Structure 1
Amino acid sequence: MASIPLVMTLGNSMLIPVLPIFEKKVGITSFQSSTIITSYSVAAIILIPVAGYLSDRFGRKLIILPSLVLAFIGGLIAGFSSWKLEDPFFWITIGRILQGMGAAGATPIILPLVGDLYKDDDEKASSCLGIIETSNTFGKVLSPILGSLFAVFLWFLPFFSISFFSLISIVLVFFFIKVPKGKKEEPQPFKQFLKKTKEIFKQEGKWLYPVFLLGAYAMLILFAVLFFMSDILEKTHNIEGVKKGFVLAIPLFTLCVSAFLTGKKIKGDTTVMKWVLVIALIMVSASVIFVGYVNEKLFLLLVVTSILGTAIGGMLPTLDALITEGIEKEERGTITSFYSSSRFIGVAAGPPLMSLLMKEYLNISYIASGALGGLLLFLVLVLIKPEKSGDQTKTA
């Protein structure tokens, strides 16, 4: 299961450090090169809820495997068009859209699958979610390094590598994930599905909406800061290429370790989960406001962003666990898919927002980010109220 978020993270983040090379080789503008990333994310955002609905009705594995095949095919299309065509941009974009569709049908389905496999063991479920988030983050750590290394040999090799990694994940999922056999049910009519989804949001929305906002906020801050660091490391500190990838990996490594340890410690206890979120939001709000002020001092910048990474690493598996353990199995895929869409929105919005704000409003934007974290902290304190039994998340 952990191979899936690893592959999908590599599939997107690995291309970011080599976009300038693509611009020169394909003869495209910076805006066009950015669509290589955004086409992936937009396709995922749109289709994730559909994949969640289908997984609830037809089974997790039955949706995950074809989705991984789509990611495999998308990588081949993007790679071969870059290799063989004189003007490959259109087909690269088609390949990236297919990869985004694959991400939509694979990554968000992992969360409800964990709930299905460990439905009677909250401790194992939380631990597994921590490993999955660690794998996701480990992919972010590897991405800038691997992307730069592959591009040294062939500029279009990152596209083919995505297909290779997807093939490995297909084999692992096919042979090693054994979904428990339950009573087969007829697929729910779509109108009934919409009605049921509305009922869930009406009943559970008080704590679900803050969880969605937290997921979007965490990824927005993470990718905005990474984009800023990537730019500032070259322009201010003259750190480029693979060396820059290793420096970027430092705060991501702290995120990775934090996600793993948090998944081990929360053990299905929603009271603990709430206070992990409270502490993490305090850390995020307190650290993000200093990013702009310390950007010229590399050591201080890495200290601040490492604190930020640690906090976000604590948030991610906690949010996963809240939804996985707070929603019934029949609707879990749908709800986790909406949550995954909110995270993709943060990923897609972070870099372009930072590119617009960092020239004139850098410190103001980070102070505003800290204030937003404070507002979300208030929502967590007021709206996320675990039952005394610790079995399920409830709201005020």
Structure 2
Amino acid sequence: MEKKADQVSVWCIVSMASIPLVMTLGNSMLIPVLPILEDKVGISSFQSSMIITSYSVAAIFLIPVAGYLSDRFGRKKVILPSLILALIGGLIAGFASWKMDDPFTMIIIGRVIQGIGAAGAMPIVLPLVGDLYQDDEEKASSCLGIIETSNTFGKVLSPILGSIFAAFLWFLPFFSISALSLISIVLIFFFVKVPKEKDEPVKFKEFFNNTKKVFKAEGKWLYTVFLNGVLVMLILFSMLFFLSENLEKVHDIKGIKKGFVLAIPLLLLCTASFISGRKIKGDIKTIRLVMLSCLAVMSIAVAFVGFTNKKIILLLAVTSIVGIAIGALLPALDAIITENIEKELRGTVTSFYSSARFIGVAAGPPIMSIVMKNFLNGSYIVAGVLGVILLFIVFKFIKENEIGNQTEKA
């Protein structure tokens, strides 16, 4: 017991929390810079959205592989090389922007490499927390809340840091991602002590059959959680992309000032995430109530985003409400999926969930770049309707007495 307490030191938690912080900054920090990129590189808003999407698409396909590798060989052995790839990707994108006349293709290549790194770093933190706190659900929930808060805090810092860095050099955000990745590498190497495995790693065939068994037994609620991950990230990143463009083109708010304005709904999202993570304590009944409440609030508020786009105070009020709902929902999703899957499959199953979240991240900006000119109001109404549909799915398939208890019956 004393050994386990030593393993989960404050610095261990800080080190784990650094990963979602760095990976979030690696993506979200570029959102306020996209209009500048469009001007400097000579690209359209759709092409600039690809700088976000290329990172996320790479992650979508490789996250499940990273999850399996972390279950097979260990969390730390996957996380460290992945962070190195994220560092290299940032350098490629940064040097291309600095030295090349037409850097767009190399920026995309660098972003893809970063996405590969993100695939093997951020999603593996969730099962790592589960490993470290496998006998204490309350502490696991609390730590997951810190991890998710770090993720959302990265979103708060992103527009501010991105705008400040770009004010010095427009391509500096790319290099800053590499510097932050290096800090995270050092922290993980020295401070994260993973519990030693007593058993031999499960062979692939047995592992595959066990995974199939889990999805067959627990599929209804797992797929419901995955759908939540897709929708909330789709709404969040499409909303952030729209806000970044809208603040410049409609309200003439640019540079560092825009970064601080963008941070307002994200700060409330971060605060809600921190409070939610501390309150849920691994209790399925509480998690279900949080999910239903947040989906209801998000669905109503998001439908009004388009209608408020020319009134800055109303726009920030509505997007802040959406942010609060999403912020409170995310730790509940992390907890329900991390604490109800057995350790041997935790990395793989949580990686599918992380992959689902990245689908939303990847789809949000390009969809918004297409619809915001002619279908802005309609697109947000559709998002609200999808939220209501998902609310009913949660009500039907997230049941206290069915989660985590079905695998043995399968």
The answer to whether TM tops 0.5 is yes
SS in 2 for 1:186: coil
2:154 is aligned with 1:148: no
Report the Cα offset of residue 393 of structure 1.
Answer: 6.8
- Residue of structure 1 in register with 2:108 after alignment: 93
- Residue of structure 2 in register with 1:348 after alignment: 362
- Residue of structure 1 in register with 2:241 after alignment: 227
Deviations along 1:133-175, one digit per CA (max 9) or x if unpaired, are 1111111111122112112222221111111000000011111
Deviates more, 1:107-116 or 1:12-21: 12-21
- Residue of structure 2 in register with 1:22 after alignment: 37
2:173 is aligned with 1:158: yes
Deviates more, 1:85-94 or 1:130-139: 85-94
- Residue of structure 1 in register with 2:380 after alignment: 366
Deviates more, 1:44-53 or 1:349-358: 349-358
Structure 2 distance, partners of 1:292, 1:155, is 29
SS in 1 for 2:127: helix
- Residue of structure 1 in register with 2:9 after alignment: none
Structure 2 distance, partners of 1:329, 1:6, is 24
- Residue of structure 1 in register with 2:330 after alignment: 316
TM-score (norm 2): 0.91
Report the Cα offset of residue 31 of structure 1.
Answer: 4.2
Over 3 Å counting, the alpha-carbon distance change for 1:298 and 1:120 in structure 2 is: same
Over 3 Å counting, the alpha-carbon distance change for 1:393 and 1:360 in structure 2 is: farther
Deviations along 1:222-247, one digit per CA (max 9) or x if unpaired, are 11222222222223322122111111
Report the Cα offset of residue 305 of structure 1.
Answer: 1.4
SS in 2 for 1:181: coil
Gaps of 5+ in 2: 1-15
1:62 corresponds, among 74, 77, 91, to 77
8 Å CA contact retained: 1:60, 1:113: yes
Structure 1 distance, partners of 2:76, 2:299, is 39
Deviations along 1:277-314, one digit per CA (max 9) or x if unpaired, are 01101111121111122222222222211111111011
- Residue of structure 2 in register with 1:123 after alignment: 138
- Residue of structure 2 in register with 1:175 after alignment: 190
2:250 is aligned with 1:236: yes
TM-score (norm 1): 0.94
How does 1:226-305 map onto structure 2 within 5 Å? 226-305=240-319
Structure 2 distance, partners of 1:232, 1:157, is 23
8 Å CA contact retained: 1:270, 1:393: no
Structure 2 distance, partners of 1:27, 1:20, is 10
Over 3 Å counting, the alpha-carbon distance change for 1:58 and 1:350 in structure 2 is: same
2:65 corresponds, among 50, 56, 68, to 50
1:5 corresponds, among 20, 34, 37, to 20
Structure 2 distance, partners of 1:370, 1:77, is 39
8 Å CA contact retained: 2:46, 2:369: no
8 Å CA contact retained: 1:386, 1:393: no
SS in 2 for 1:347: helix
SS in 2 for 1:232: helix
Letter in 2 for 1:257: T
Over 3 Å counting, the alpha-carbon distance change for 1:383 and 1:31 in structure 2 is: closer
- Residue of structure 2 in register with 1:107 after alignment: 122
SS in 1 for 2:306: coil
Structure 2 distance, partners of 1:217, 1:12, is 18
Deviates more, 1:29-38 or 1:305-314: 29-38
Deviates more, 1:254-263 or 1:72-81: 72-81
Report the Cα offset of residue 28 of structure 1.
Answer: 4.3
Over 3 Å counting, the alpha-carbon distance change for 1:271 and 1:332 in structure 2 is: same
Letter in 2 for 1:247: V
Deviates more, 1:52-61 or 1:283-292: 283-292
8 Å CA contact retained: 2:308, 2:314: yes
8 Å CA contact retained: 2:139, 2:281: yes
Structure 2 distance, partners of 1:298, 1:285, is 21
Deviations along 1:29-82, one digit per CA (max 9) or x if unpaired, are 544433322221111011000000000111111100110011111112222233
Over 3 Å counting, the alpha-carbon distance change for 1:200 and 1:10 in structure 2 is: same
Over 3 Å counting, the alpha-carbon distance change for 1:193 and 1:232 in structure 2 is: same
Gaps of 5+ in 1: none
- Residue of structure 1 in register with 2:50 after alignment: 35
